[in-house]
Amino acid sequence: MSNTETKNSTLTTRTLRTVGVLVAACVIFVGVLSVVAVAVTSRALNAGSAAQATDTPAVKKPLSI
């Protein structure tokens, strides 16, 4: 192997490793963000339905014109 081929091989390996690390970081970041969003949304929906279940319905009088 010549010196140029060795440098190209090393550069290719480093590039592929860097791309792999960046893709993995993006996957982890988006995954964590999605889990947090689902957890927040679930809590908000559960809190809203619990509040509706405990409220006593108010008697509404019909409006006259």
Domain range spanning residue 21?
Answer: 1-33
Q: What is the dihedral of CA 50, 35, 33, 49, to 10 degrees?
A: -10
For 9-62, the pLDDT digits (tens) are: 899 999 999 999 999 999 999 999 999 999 999 998 888 776 565 555 667 777
Q: Is residue 3 part of a domain?
A: yes
Position 50 in a domain = no
- Does residue 28 sit within a domain? yes
Interatomic CA distance for residues 39 and 31, integer angstroms: 12
Does the pTM of the predicted model rise above 0.75? no
With 90 as the cut, is the pLDDT of residue 7 above it? Answer: no
Domain count, the chain: 1
pLDDT at res. 51 = 58
Q: Which residue has the higher pLDDT, 12 or 1?
A: 12
Q: How far is CA 17 from CA 11, 12, 24, 28, 29, in A?
A: 10, 8, 11, 16, 18
Q: Is the pLDDT at 2 greater than 70, yes or no?
A: no
